[in-house]
């Protein structure tokens, strides 16, 4: 039985120019109906005490205090043994009463959507906070008892320069009392406002340099890289996300959420009206052994320590090195992959080219 759950809140108070996630503008009546539907799904679907719970979005903090209270109360029975309980929030909508409410319901980790500290870039991506507000929100969250904070940052934004990127990282490692940083490269999706406006990605070489700089700089300042996009202080890796990368089962709740249970992957409807009137209406795919072997490799190679070869054998009764002998020979010779201490992992050279390496495993 799954011991982790992802719950998707589709509402945002403002739609950002680059966004192509499953989300919609917050509307009180619609959100009330969504809360009723999601409470029903929680009660029908969740069965076990959970080890990790993650409420993402959208913007969970966009819900009103009362709506958030109903949602968190419905989750209470399932999180009594939870080791990590995360909620995503943004600076403007995460008021102090909501922070206290989260703490009261056992939330012990907050993931803040910061993206950049540069006023010019914040304007371009239509985020309304300032650097000072980010810092003050982090302090407010800590003051209210939640002491594990992650922030999201985006690189490759239009008009973002290497100097701006360096300034942001320096400011964060020097002054921000946080435990975890997730990095995202901007992808301009066709259906986002940026896509419709014809905004172009920055020079891919600059984007690669930004990633390489972060990879080098953050570990020197206390944030070690444990996954391709994630850096943390020692012991503060995201337990929930590690569960995905270890390919464990998880419940998916809410419209736009996905889950995986007992060799079946399901994607709940993304249509909020369908969700409210008919429930999750999930599209299910049964994963065969080959699918699962590939997905395990794909997820595990994102981790800095790589994939445990014994774990692979225990799960599938297949010897990894035998099954993928020709791919391994090619990628090890090219210096992209390495095997040591029972783990296969991407090398420094291979890490940025992981997608290309994975194609070989697909074939
Ligand atoms: S980027 Fe986040 S906050 Fe902005 S619209 Fe998308 S889901 Fe909402």
128-170 pLDDT tens trace: 899 999 999 999 999 999 999 999 999 999 999 999 999 999 9
Residue 352 has pLDDT above 90, yes or no: no
Q: Convert 159-199 into a string of H (helix), E (strand) and C (coil).
A: CCCHHHHHHHHHHHHHHCCCCEEEEEECCCCCCCHHHHHCC
The ligand 1 atom at the shortest distance from the C-alpha of residue 20 is: 6
**β strands within 49-148, DSSP E:** 52-57, 84-89, 109-115
Give the pLDDT of residue 2: 93
For residue 363, pLDDT over 80 is answered with no
Kindly indicate the confidence band of residue 245, based on its pLDDT and cuts at 50, 70 and 90: confident
Tokens describing residue 122: 């914040």
Locate the ligand 1 atom nearest the alpha carbon of residue 57 and give its number.
7
Class of domain 289-363: mainly alpha
Q: SS3 helix, strand, coil % of the chain, rounded to 5?
A: 45, 20, 35
Copy the structure tokens of residue 157: 């934004």
What's the pLDDT score for residue 187?
86
Residue 218 is predicted with a pLDDT of 98
Tokens 């989300």 correspond to 23
Residue 48 has pLDDT above 80, yes or no: no
Residues 235-244 have a mean pLDDT of 95
CA 20 – ligand 1 centroid, Å = 8
- Residue 41 pLDDT more than 80? yes
Lowest mean pLDDT among 15-24, 93-102, 297-306: 15-24
Q: Which of 9, 13, 15, 17 to mutate to test the pocket of ligand 1 (most atoms within 8 A of CB)?
A: 15
> Does ligand 1 lie within 6 Å of residue 113's CB atom?
yes
Quick one: pLDDT at residue 193? 85
Q: What is the DSSP string of 124-136?
A: HTT----HHHHHH
Q: Do 27 and 233 contact (CB within 8 A), yes or no?
A: no
Indicate if 289-363 has the same CATH topology as 4-245.
no
> What ranges do the domains of the chain cover?
4-245, 289-363
Identify the pLDDT of residue 188.
86
CA of 220 to the centre of ligand 1 (A): 31
Look at residue 20 in the predicted model and tell me its pLDDT.
78
Q: Report residue 102 as tokens.
A: 């989260």
pLDDT on residue 262 = 94
Question: How far is the centre of ligand 1, averaged over its atoms, from the C-alpha of 177 (Å)?
Answer: 24
The answer, yes or no, to whether residue 223 has pLDDT greater than 80, is yes
pLDDT of 99 higher than 90: yes
Nearest CA to ligand 1 atom 4: 16
What is the spatial distance between Cα 34 and Cα 254, in angstroms, rounded to a whole number? 9
Q: What is the pLDDT of residue 282?
A: 93
Q: DSSP letters along 285-320, please?
A: EE--HHHHHHHHHHHHTTBTT-EEHHHHHHHHS--H
Neighbours of 13 (CB within 10 A): 14
Q: How many CA atoms lie within 13 A of 201 on its CB side?
A: 15
pLDDT of residue 194: 87
- pLDDT tier, 248 (very low <50, low <70, confident <90, very high otherwise): very high
Band of the pLDDT at 246, cuts 50, 70, 90?
Answer: confident
The residue nearest atom 2 of ligand 1, judged by CA position, is: 58
CATH architecture type of domain 4-245: Alpha-Beta Barrel (3.20)
**113 C-alpha to center of ligand 1: Å?**
8
Task: Provide, rounded to the nearest whole percent, the portion of the chain with pLDDT above 70.
Answer: 100
Arithmetic mean of pLDDT, 48-67: 96
For residue 33, name the pLDDT band (cuts at 50, 70, 90). Answer: very high
Distance of CA 19 from the midpoint of ligand 1 (Å): 6
The confidence score (pLDDT) of residue 362 equals: 86
Who wins on pLDDT, 14 or 252?
A: 252
Question: What's the mean pLDDT when you consider all of the chain?
Answer: 95
Going by pLDDT thresholds of 50, 70 and 90, the confidence category of residue 47 is confident
Q: Say which residue, 286 or 349, is predicted with more confidence.
A: 286
Cα–Cα distance between 189 and 197 in angstroms, integer?
11
Best of 9, 17, 21 for a ligand 1 pocket test (most atoms within 8 Å of beta carbon): 21
CA 362 – CA 16 distance, rounded (Å): 35
């Amino acid at each position: 039985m799954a011991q982790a759950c992802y719950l998707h809140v589709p509402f945002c108070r403002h739609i950002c120019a680059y966004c192509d996630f499953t989300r919609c503008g917050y509307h009180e009546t619609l959100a009330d109906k969504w809360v009723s539907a999601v409470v029903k799904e929680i009660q029908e679907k969740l069965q076990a005490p959970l080890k990790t719970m993650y409420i993402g979005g959208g913007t969970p903090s966009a819900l009103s205090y009362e709506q958030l209270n109903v949602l968190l109360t419905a989750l209470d029975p399932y999180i009594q043994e939870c080791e990590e309980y995360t909620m995503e929030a943004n600076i403007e909508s995460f008021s102090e009463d909501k922070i206290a409410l989260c703490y009261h319901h056992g939330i012990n980790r907050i993931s803040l959507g910061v993206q950049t500290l540069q006023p010019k870039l914040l304007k371009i991506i239509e985020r309304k906070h300032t650097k000072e507000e980010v810092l003050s929100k982090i302090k407010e969250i800590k003051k209210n008892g939640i002491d594990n904070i992650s922030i999201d940052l985006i690189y490759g934004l239009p008009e973002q320069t290497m100097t701006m990127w360096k300034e942001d990282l320096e400011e964060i490692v020097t002054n921000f009392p946080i435990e975890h940083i997730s990095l995202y490269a901007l992808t301009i999706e066709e259906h986002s406002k940026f896509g419709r406006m014809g905004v172009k990605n920055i020079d891919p070489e600059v984007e690669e340099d930004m990633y390489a700089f972060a990879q080098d700089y953050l570990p020197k300042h206390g944030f070690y890289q444990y996954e391709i996009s994630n850096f943390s202080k020692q012991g503060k890796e995201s337990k929930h996300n590690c569960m995905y990368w270890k390919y464990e089962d998880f419940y998916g709740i809410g419209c736009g959420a996905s889950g995986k249970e007992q060799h079946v992957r399901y994607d709940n409807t993304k249509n909020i009206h369908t969700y409210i009137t008919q429930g999750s209406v999930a599209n299910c795919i049964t994963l065969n052994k080959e699918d699962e072997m590939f997905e395990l490799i794909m997820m595990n190679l994102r981790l800095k320590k790589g994939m445990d070869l014994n774990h692979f054998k225990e799960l599938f009764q297949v010897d990894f090195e035998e099954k993928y002998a020709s791919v391994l020979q090619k990628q090890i010779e090219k210096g992209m992959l390495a095997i040591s201490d029972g783990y296969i992992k991407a090398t420094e050279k291979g890490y940025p080219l992981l997608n290309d390496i994975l194609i070989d495993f697909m074939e």
